[in-house]
Amino acid sequence: MARIYIRPTGLVSNPQSVDGEAIRLAGSLAYAHDFALIRAEDGKIVANDRVNAGEMPGALAGLPGALAGEGAAQWANLQKVHPPLHCGERIIRLDQPQVMGILNVTPDSFSDGGKFLDDPQAANEHCAAMLEAGAAIIDIGGESTRPGAAAVWEGDEIKRVIPAIEAAALMGAAISVDTRRPAVMEAALNSGAHIVNDVSALRHDPRSLGLAASAKVPVVLMHAPGDGTDLHADGTYRNVVLDVFDWLAAARDRAIEAGIARELIVLDPGIGFGKSVSDNLALINALPLFHALGQPLLLGASRKRFIGALSNEAASHQRLGGSLTVAVKGMDAGVQLLRVHDVAETVQARNVWRSLRDAALTDFSDLPAA
């Protein structure tokens, strides 16, 4: 089967630097001038042409058959401006990177297992601190999805997340629930959550798609190769970037067919889930490509194992530098949502990054002569 992909390769901080020959990626503050127009057949790349923004419409029109239509759709998606996410009274704009703070109420999370489950006051204080530091969304989860983690009964998961969600709701937070079980989703939404963040992309339980559709709330669909209890299983790829792209396209289409409005779907490439260090690095470098799917993107790489592997096996709490590096890489790529443990530091990095982007947009002609 023949497929087409448009991968932005020449990113610039402003369109003036290339005489306006750039597109704005997904309504973000990232701009692209050059692109790789990739054709693949049965998973094998057969053509990889360099095309600039001005040349792209002609290059797409010259593609054979249905590839021209798919290419045109991807080209439009790359330039699509996404509406904000509505989370109760909170509106999350997607024209700049937004920070999602992680609150794990589990006994075995790889980063802070047990710290907030055993001490509700500490959990509430941490939630409040993340909001004060600038988190746009609080992501609350009651099941560890690290490799080898034990499965959790949904009743226990509900008992873990609901008190934290109720407390966060009283603080006026926009809340996502990190779960793959429909009973937990329903209980969480009834208790004040606004977003469903499912690491199984609503595949774990056949009831999840219908529940999410009827709830009419934003959903995050994450790539994971495993389709059973072990989401990390079966992590083999012909080309990890193109395989994950195709998988997310199918997950998007499945959700739309189930009745979930397209503007409510966020996609996540699933960094660290069934992927090697080289797989993770390839996906992070290719993040701009995923805007061609036409949905907002979430990047969750904070403190992940690959950062430790690249840092002399640094422990999870010693991976701030690497986590910030990946977060900034995501900002450069136009990613809209950054799911992180270290909110204050990431917000500071985002604010400086945003200021640099705003300054870069100053018209060159307005700058004083040397």
Segment 331-370, tens digit of pLDDT: 999 999 999 999 999 999 999 999 999 999 886 655 555 5
**Distance between alpha carbon 236 and the CA centroid of its chain, in Å?**
21
The three-point CA angle 188-193-196 to 5° equals 80
Best CA proximity match to 349, nearest among 363, 332, 365, 366: 332
Can you give the pLDDT at residue 245? 98
Q: Give the model's confidence band at 8: pLDDT under 50 very low, under 70 low, under 90 confident, else very high.
A: very high
Q: Which position among 275, 303, 304, 305 bears the catalytic label?
A: 304
**150 pLDDT higher than 80:** no
Could you count the other beta carbons within 10 Å of the beta carbon of residue 48?
12
The pair of structure tokens assigned to 136 is 């746009």
Q: Could you tell me whether strands 85-87 and 90-92 are parallel, antiparallel, or unpaired per DSSP bridges?
A: antiparallel
Residues in the chain: 370
As a whole number of angstroms, the distance between CA 345 and CA 332 comes to 17
Can you give the pLDDT at residue 362? 81
Kindly state the percentage of the chain with pLDDT values over 70. Answer: 94
Contact (Cβ atoms closer than 8 angstroms) between residue 185 and residue 211: yes
Sheet containing 195-198: give its strands across. 265-268, 219-222, 195-198, 175-178, 137-141, 98-104, 337-340, 298-299
Lowest mean pLDDT among 14-28, 120-134, 220-234, 348-362: 220-234
Helix (H) or strand (E) holding 7: strand 2-12
**Distance between alpha carbon 22 and the CA centroid of its chain, in Å?**
23
As a whole number of angstroms, the distance between CA 90 and CA 137 comes to 9
DSSP structure class, residue 80:
P
**Relative orientation angle of helices 182-190 and 154-170, to the nearest 10 degrees:** 20
The pair of structure tokens assigned to 106 is 């589990």
Q: Which position among 181, 275, 339, 350 bears the catalytic label?
A: 339
**240 pLDDT higher than 70:** yes
Contact (Cβ atoms closer than 8 angstroms) between residue 199 and residue 161: no
Residue 44 appears among annotated catalytic residues: no
As a whole number of angstroms, the distance between CA 243 and CA 247 comes to 6
Residue 304 appears among annotated catalytic residues: yes
Structural domains of the chain in order of their starting residue, each with its CATH number: 2-78 (no CATH), 85-357 (3.20.20.20)
**Distance between alpha carbon 222 and the CA centroid of its chain, in Å?**
8
Can you give the pLDDT at residue 1? 86
**254 pLDDT higher than 90:** yes
For the stretch 16-34, pLDDT in tens is 989 889 999 999 999 999 9
